[in-house]
Amino acid sequence: MAPRALDYESLNENVKKVQYAVRGELYLRASELQKEGKKIIFTNVGNPHALGQKPLTFPRQVVALCQAPFLLDDPNVGLLFPADAIAKAKHYLAMTTGGLGWSVEGAYSDSRGMPGVRKEVANFIERRDGYPSDPELIFLTDGASKGVMQILNTIIRGESDGVLVPVPQYPLYSAAISLFGGSLVPYYLEETENWGLDVNNLRQSVAQARYKGITVKAMVIINPGNPTGQCLSEANLREILRFCYQENLALLGDEVYQQNIYQDERPFLSARKVLMGMGPPMSKEVQLVSFHTVSKGYWGECGQRGGYFEMTNIPPKTVDEIYKVASVSLSPNVPAQIFMGLMVNPLKPGDISYEQFIRESKGILESLRRRARMMTDGFNSCKNVICNFTEGAMYSFPQIRLPPKAMEAAKKAGKVPDVFYCLKLLEATGISTVPGSGFGQKEGVFHLRTTILPAEEEMPEIMASFKKFNDEFMEQYDDRGGYSRL
């Protein structure tokens, strides 16, 4: 009998090609072990609330009131909610079509998101960068990933269209490029230069791709880096933008970790601010799409699925096309739009809940900073492990220098060496990481990615447990030399 439409043999080949290690073999095995009753520390995804981070109180109060607006008519509402949360809820409820308070969360919004929230996003960008931003060029999305996917789908026409992606990279990019049938053009970040980006590498990558007949159409940067944690300097961003201008590439700026900065030398700078600062012709020509989210920062509201993208130098006809396709799935979810509004337009000194908001958000950020340090130091104390400091984002990406015997054992087990190592780590300690091969790495070098998100008080024990496993692993497969390394 012929295979049926949804038998594996019949499926879209691009779907089959997609790889997404963050929820791949390691995650599936960890889920199994959890079902069997083993305690698992899920550090595979940047999912702060799942690891014990409490949400900020104020935005949750506001969104709860928007979900249950009838509470606003209850004389007891003031017993459970502060006055500024009530006022903010009324502010968002008033944004709805026709002024029907209850409909704000229950109705589809405009497919680009509520105009009022998009205006708040534009004001935030203007305050952050010092250049005006147009709400008509800001689209709200169900998380940043959905926005990235839509833009890549808009750009990619077929396999001869290429997109420059950093290696190592967050596998959303490789997955989406596979799904839409394009070609990933890798450029390597330099581990020995603290994961810095060398424009000469970019030139080489583009030249090689063109030689293969690929039209390179766009470049992705992740700043701060995922999984690599580096922050791009202004000089580096200028070089990248100039390169995009010279080579006629659109720049996709994944800036979802812009609030997660753990050093003072390189504060976050948006690609847009740097571009605007460069003046014409570049500031008028380079096409840039920037992405942000409510899932990261000190918010960590991953489950809400809220994000936005902002378009710079994108012609109106293209914006219309993007709007049209966004309309097919009607609208991003409305509660997350309100979270986005609250994130970009936070409480101000003098507001009743301000002190609490600052205490909570500072507490989270300072703890992340300490944890970034604890993790880097912990990894560097382990045998055959070296790790750059996490300057930003939420991840540590240590290099694991594997002995030849371990690589042989991996081969025998039919596993990539770092998958082999991470599986052993999972079985021994319950720590669920993602092998470096899921992000890309230079040939013959191995890594793992872990989030810095486990609770601070558990961190010493986790790192001790990691060290014990690693050092025993290295002992077990000890050898005279020939270790994997740069």
Residues 286-345 that bind a copy of itself (CB under 8 A): 287, 289, 295, 300-305, 311, 313-315, 317-318, 321, 324-325, 327-336
Q: Please give the torsion angle defined by the CA atoms of residues 221, 224, 230 and 235, in that order, rounded to the nearest 10 degrees.
A: 60
Question: Taking the CB of residue 444, how many other CB atoms lie within 10 A of it?
Answer: 11
Q: Is the dihedral of CA 236, 240, 241, 246 positive or negative?
A: positive
Site for a copy of itself in 121-180 (CB under 8 A): 142-143, 145-146, 149, 153-157, 171-172, 175-176, 179-180
The residue within the footprint of a copy of itself, chosen from 33, 68, 428, 445 (CB under 8 A), is 68
Q: Which stretch binds a copy of itself (CB under 8 A): 90-98, 199-207, 359-367, 466-474?
A: 90-98
Q: Which stretch binds a copy of itself (CB under 8 A): 73-81, 220-228, 259-267, 418-426?
A: 73-81
The residue within the footprint of a copy of itself, chosen from 36, 37, 76, 235 (CB under 8 A), is 76
Query: Is position 111 an interface residue for a copy of itself (rule: CB under 8 A)?
Result: yes
Query: Is position 348 an interface residue for a copy of itself (rule: CB under 8 A)?
Result: no
The residue within the footprint of a copy of itself, chosen from 30, 63, 197, 423 (CB under 8 A), is 63
Half-sphere exposure of 471 (CA within 13 A, CB side): 12
**What span, in angstroms and rounded, lies between the C-alpha atoms of 156 and 303?**
29
Residue with tokens 């509201």: 301
Kind and range of the H or E element at 448? strand 448-451
Q: Which stretch binds a copy of itself (CB under 8 A): 50-58, 191-199, 358-366, 470-478?
A: 50-58
Q: Which residue, 159, 150, 121, 195, is CA-closest to 14?
A: 159
Q: Minimal distance in Å, beta carbon 151 to a copy of itself?
A: 8
Q: Minimal distance in Å, beta carbon 195 to a copy of itself?
A: 24
Q: Minimal distance in Å, beta carbon 323 to a copy of itself?
A: 8
Question: Taking the CB of residue 17, how many other CB atoms lie within 10 A of it?
Answer: 13
Site for a copy of itself in 422-451 (CB under 8 A): none
Site for a copy of itself in 216-275 (CB under 8 A): 217-218, 248-250
The residue within the footprint of a copy of itself, chosen from 29, 49, 91, 266 (CB under 8 A), is 49
Site for a copy of itself in 179-198 (CB under 8 A): 179-180
Q: Minimal distance in Å, beta carbon 267 to a copy of itself?
A: 27
Give residue 131's identity as a one-letter amino acid code. Y
| Nearest residue (CB) to a copy of itself, 98 versus 280 | 98
Taking a C-beta distance cutoff of 8 angstroms, is the pair 243, 199 a contact? yes
The residue within the footprint of a copy of itself, chosen from 29, 33, 82, 103 (CB under 8 A), is 103
Outline where DSSP puts E strands in 66-120: none
Question: Which one-letter DSSP state was computed for residue 88?
Answer: H
Tally of helices (H runs) and strands (E runs) in the chain: 19, 14
Q: How far is CA 318 from CA 187, 311, 313, in A?
A: 28, 10, 10
Determine how β-strand 215-222 pairs with β-strand 41-42.
Answer: unpaired
